[in-house]
Chain A
Amino acid sequence: MPASPEDLHTSRKRNVDEDDRLVALAKENREAFGALYAKYWEPVYRFIYKRIMGEERVKDIAQVVFIKAMLNLHKYETRGFAFSSWLFRIALNEIADAAKKEKNLGIVDVPADGKEELVLEPDIGLRDFQLEQLVEALNQSSPEDVELIELRFFEKRRLREVANILGISETNCKVRMHRTMKRLKATIEKLK
C-alpha cells in the first residue's frame, strides 16, 4: 500500500531529526561525522554519478564533497531539511567546477521514466513527444534550466527541496521552474 502524505511527512521529519542529532554529535567529535558519511555516501555518489562521466572521477568528487562538508560543518544549520540537501548543494558546485575544467566530463542522465515524469506534470501540457526530442531540447537548454529539470523531474524531488539545494527561496524556485518548463515546451514544439 502506498504511504499516505502524513506518513511521508512523519518519515521526513524523523529523518531530519536524526540528521540534526548526528550533526550535533559530529560538531563535537569529528569521528562522529562517520555516521553521516555512511548514511549519505550512496545518495551523494549517485547524485554525482548522474552528472559526471567516469567512476573514478565520481568517487573523487564525492570524497571532496564530504571533506568540504566536514570542514564547514560548524556553519551548517538545518532549516528543516535533511542533511543531504546541503551535501547536494556542495556537490553541484563541485560538479560545475569539474565540468568547467574538463571537457566532456559533465553529463545529463535522462532516466528511463524521465519523459513520463514530464508528461505527468499537469501545468506543462507536454504531450506526444519523443525521447529523442527531449534529449535534443535538453541539449539546447541552458545549464540552469537542465539543472532544475534534473532535480525536479529526473530525480523526483519536492519543490521545497529543489529550492533548498539551489539555495533559493521556494517562490523563486516556482518562478524559475515555470519559466524553464515554458522554454522546454517551446523547444520541444519546435522540434516536432
Chain B
Amino acid sequence: MNRKVVTGRTHPSSEEVNSLQNFGEIIGGVSKIRRERRIKISLATAAAAIATLIIGLWPSIDTNDQTTAELSTDSKTEILAVDSHSDLETLYPIQVENYDINPEVDNLIVTSNGTLIDVPAGSFSGSENVTLEFKDLSDPMTVFVSQISMDFDSLGVKYHFQSGGMFELTALSDNQVLLMNDGSEIQVSYPTLTSDQGMNQYRYDIETKSWTYDMPMPLDQLKGVCETHKVDFTKQQSKRKAPNRLTDFQGEVDAILATVPDEPQLASSKHYKFHFDFDPLDFPELAGFEDIMFQAKDSRFKRSFYENSWDAVELKKGKIGYSIVLKNGIEEENFNVVPVLQKDEYESALDDYENAKVEAEAKIDQFGEVQAAHKAWIDDVRSRESEYEFVSRDKAKVVTSRLITDIDEMTMYRTFNLPSLGVVNCDIPFQFPKGTGIQADFVGKHDDGMRRFAQVQLIEMDSPSYAAYHMAEYLDFRYRKGKKNLILAADHEGRIAVGTTDMFNGLKVPKGETHQFELKWMEGSFESLDELKAELHLLTDDYAM
C-alpha cells in the first residue's frame, strides 16, 4: 500500500473548509483549458498527416469513464471522440437463470442452453439455501453488452479471444455472494460454440478486468460426457413435483363415496315386507335410513313365514344383494330381499341420496381431471426423458432443470473444472488479424455532428472472434477480407451502433488516408437484450442468433 495509514487526525471545521471556496478560480481554470485545447486542435489541423500519432499521445484531462478528447483526423472537420457508456448491462440486462439447490446433496443443473452444472454435495457451507445464478455470455451482442474485456495479456504480449463459449456462475445465499469451499470443484459441461481444437479455460478477474489461463480444454466427445448415464428423470421429478397428489386425491374421493348412501327403494304394496333389527355395525350403508323394511324379492317367501316362530333370523349381503335366512331346528328358508322405505321416508332419503351423489360425482369429475393432467405430465416427462438420457453421471443426483433445454446428440461439449465461481470462458487467444491494415475512424451521427467512437469491437462471426480496437491505442485497423466481420460500438449514452460485413466489401483505402466508417445506430427504444439481438438480426443476416 502506497498510502500511509493514520489515526486520530483532526479535521477542519465547516467554516474553515467553506472559506476556501473560490468559484472564480474554477471559471478561470475552465477558460484556460479550453484555450489550450483550441491551440492543440489547430496544431493537429496543420499536421493532419500525423494526426493519428497525436491521438495516442494526447494528454487526457478527462475522467476515466466518460471522457471526450477533442481530436482531429481530418484537416477540415473537428471530430470529437466518444467513449462507451460505462455500464451497458444496466441498460440492456443480461438474462440470469436462477437455480435453488440444497448444498448438502449432489446437484445436477441443466440450464436452458443445455449446460450441465454438476455441483457436488458440500461445495458450499454455512447455508441451507443456495441459489446459483447462471449467465450465458456466448452470443456476440451479449458479450458486447457485458463489457467483459476480450483482451488477454500473456507475458506482455496482447492477444484477443476466439470464443468457444463464456458464462458467469455466481452463488448467492440470502442475497449475499457465497464462495465455494476450499478443495471443492464444480464441473460445468458447456455446449461449445465451435469444435476448433486448441482451446483453453480462462478465468476473468472482475477487479483487474483481466484473464488468467487455467488449463487446456479439449473437446469432449459426446459419449465422454454422457455415456451410459441415464437419469431416472420421471422418478426424480415425481419425487419433487407430484408428491402423492393422486394418492391424496384418491383418498378424498373414497371418503366422499363412503358418505353416499345406497339408492333408496320405495316399498311396494304388492310384495311381502317386514321389519328386522339388524346390527348397524354390520350394515352401515343401511344405518342412515329411518324405518327401513325388507321386501321379499322372490316367490320363495310365503305368507306362512309371518306366522312361524323362528329360532334365528339372519340378514346376509351377497354379490347381487341382500338375503334373509330363517332357521327353525333343521328347517331353513332362504330368500332374497330389498331394503325399502315407505313413501315419506323414501322421499326424504331420495333427496339425501341425490345430494350426496351430486357431490360425489363432482369430486369424481375433478379426480378425472387430475388424473388426466397427471398422465399428461408423466407423458411429457417421459418424452423428455430421452433428451436427458445422457445428462447425469450419477443416478443419485437431484436434477434441477427448467425443462426447456434444446440439446441433442450432435451437441459438442467442453467441460470446465471450477474450484471457484465467476466468469470463465473457453477460448483460443490470437493476435490481431494479420489481414488488411488500414487507418480508420468509426463514426456515428450525433445531434451536434459526427462523433468518433473511442473503441469498437470487431467480431469475426465465423469463429466467433473478438478484437477490441481502442482507437487511441492502435494506429491501424486490421481485419480479414472474406470473413463475416461485424463492428459494434456504443456511445456515452449507451446507444449502440453497428457496422456489417458489406461495409468492408470492395474497400480500398489509399496509403496515408484515413477511412471513415459510418456505423448505423440501432434505432428504437430497446428494453431488453433480446430486443437488441432481434434488431441486430434484422440489420445483418450474418448474425447467428
Contact = CB atoms under 8 A, between A and B. Distances in A.
A174 B12 contact: no
Contacts of A167: 64-65, 86-87
Contact of A46 (B11, B22, B26, B34): B11
B403 to A, nearest CB: 27
A45 B62 contact: no
Interface in A13-67: 30-31, 33-34, 37-38, 41-42, 45-46, 49, 51, 53, 55, 59, 62-64, 66-67
A123 interface: yes
B57 interface: no
Contacts of B25: 63
Contacts of A175: 170, 177, 206, 422
B5 A135 contact: yes
B66 interface: yes
Contact of B1 (A63, A76, A142, A176): A142
Contact of B4 (A68, A104, A123): A104
Interface of A: prevailing SS? helix
B21 interface: yes
Nearest to A147: B3
Interface string B171-193: 00000110100000000000000
Contact of B3 (A76, A106, A114, A172): A106
Contact of A169 (B62, B89, B176): B89
A151 interface: no
Contacts of A123: 176
B5 A41 contact: no
B206 A77 contact: no
A64 B440 CA distance: 34
A8 interface: no
Interface in A98-115: 99-100, 103-104, 106-110, 112, 114
A46 B61 contact: no
A190 interface: no
Contacts of B61: 68, 71
A30 B34 CA distance: 13
A89 B2 contact: no
A51 B3 contact: yes
Given A106-B3, A135-B7, A175-B206, A89 B65 contact: yes
A144 B2 CA distance: 11
A9 interface: no
B174 to A, nearest CB: 10
Contact of B176 (A34, A79, A178): A178
A123 B178 CA distance: 11
Interface in A135-192: 135, 138-144, 146, 167-169, 171-172, 174-176, 178-179, 182
14 contacts: A31-B27, A41-B21, A42-B18, A68-B63, A71-B30, A72-B66, A89-B64, A106-B4, A107-B4, A174-B177, A175-B170, A175-B177, A178-B176, A178-B177
Interface of A: 30-31, 33-34, 37-38, 41-42, 45-46, 49, 51, 53, 55, 59, 62-64, 66-68, 70-72, 75-77, 79, 89-90, 93, 99-100, 103-104, 106-110, 112, 114, 123, 131, 135, 138-144, 146, 167-169, 171-172, 174-176, 178-179, 182
Given A167-B65, A174-B177, 6 more contacts: A31-B27, A72-B68, A79-B90, A103-B2, A104-B4, A140-B1
